[in-house]
Amino acid sequence: MDGKKVLYSAIQPTNNLTIGNYVGAISNWLKLQNDYDCFFAIADMHAITVRQEPAALRSKTLAMLALYIACGIDPAKCCMYIQSHVPAHAELAWVLNTFTYVGEMERMTQYKDKAARHAENVNMGLMDYPVLMAADILLYQAQFVPVGEDQRQHLEIARDIAQRFNNIYSPTFTVPEGLFLKVGAKIGDLQDPSKKMSKSAENPNGSVFLSDDRDTVIRKFRRAVTDSGSEIVFDPANKPGVSNLLTVYSVFAGKTVEEAERDFAGKGYGEFKLAVGEAVADRLAPVQAEQARLLSDREYLNGILKSGAERAARTAGRTLSKVYKKVGFYQI
Ligand code: TYM
């Protein structure tokens, strides 16, 4: 469309999104949506690799669409859809499975982590997750994939699979590149900044959820761990706690990290943490209100999902049919 390059990303509608998801993914999408032909999916098929409560998955899926729009993703510019509405994802994933080695999947760190956390349900889907993600990206011939640092390994494998297929047959897939923020690709847990902030954190004080109310947000930031010394400077190696907070502040206050450092020069940690909490709460309040308003208009949301799935299916169908021809599936 418009000769623009294609950009693809997705989020799983599991648990509540954190400000890590916002900074690492959505805030970056907002900046990119004008310059690329964007597809933003809701990855419900990825979500079921861990057991989900069906009613909750359904409502979180719709809430995710409302959140995308409430954050500022423009449905007039971007194609938003639900992964399971476009069958080509599962179809291409099957073909790509035959170009992916079991050993490669066993080595994925996220698989190893999740297998350890869900030892009672180490299902094939959990292991196959990166192949489905490769199918997502490759179906749209996406050039760029804006994600957080934790998805880097999955993106590498998507590139490997694309190149492998292209080499065996002929150029079929665009080999995608990850777009990682220089600052913010890995927001740390507020209680242990060496760990990534996660939707499923054990300590709920470590993660700030996009659904948290103002008091909760401010309380969590007040309790955030800082570092020894008293200077508020960006130095991830020596001051991981303060640097993490400066990163969050810069994104939510719309400033550079240097400007953020200047704002807090000579100030104390207490004042700093309160200001970070306030900046986050100030941004979340209107997003939450808009998300609630959108959720009361289901017809509007369903309309976006319907046209999104139709458009996605057209694009994805073109790639899938090329792939089917190349591998030798008989066509009528
Ligand atoms: P998911 O749902 O776990 O996370 C969504 C996005 O949020 C980013 N992210 C973070 N960024 C910075 N700091 C953090 N603490 C943090 N935590 C999460 C993730 O990197 C991601 O960008 N497999 C993907 C969803 C997916 C996908 C795709 C992404 C499915 N198909 C195709 C891109 C392309 C996932 O589970 O993300």
| 260 and 310 in a common domain | no
| 303 and 287 in a common domain | no
* Letter string b/e over residues 17-37, b meaning 16 or more CB atoms within 10 A of that residue's CB: bbbbbbbbbbbbbeeebeebb
The enclosing domain of 245 has a CATH number of: 1.10.240.10
pLDDT value at residue 2: 63
pLDDT digits (tens, 9 = 90+) for 81-120: 999 999 999 999 999 999 999 999 999 999 999 999 889 9
Q: Does ligand 1 lie within 6 Å of residue 231's CB atom?
A: no
Q: Which stretches of 140-268 are DSSP H helices?
A: 152-168, 214-222, 240-253, 257-263
The enclosing domain of 44 has a CATH number of: 3.40.50.620
Q: 7 phi and psi, to 5 degrees? A: -125, 135
Tell me the mean pLDDT in the region 8-21: 94
Q: Does ligand 1 lie within 6 Å of residue 138's CB atom?
A: no
Q: Ligand 1 test: best mutation among 7, 11, 32, 209, most atoms within 8 Å of CB?
A: 11
Of 33, 4, 11, 19, the residue nearest 277 (C-alpha): 19
| 224 and 310 in a common domain | no
Residues in the chain: 332
Residue 147 alpha carbon to ligand 1 centre in Å? 6
Residues 206 and 280: their CA atoms lie apart, in Å, by 15
| 211 and 180 in a common domain | no
Q: Which residue range(s) make up the domain with 255?
A: 204-291
Q: Does ligand 1 lie within 6 Å of residue 12's CB atom?
A: yes
pLDDT digits (tens, 9 = 90+) for 237-251: 999 999 999 999 999
pTM given for the model? 0.96
User: What is the total count of domains within the chain?
Assistant: 2
pLDDT digits (tens, 9 = 90+) for 31-52: 999 999 999 999 999 999 999 9
Residue 139 alpha carbon to ligand 1 centre in Å? 18
Question: Does residue 325 have an active-site annotation?
Answer: no
Contact criterion met (CB below 8 Å) for 185 and 27: no
| 214 and 174 in a common domain | no
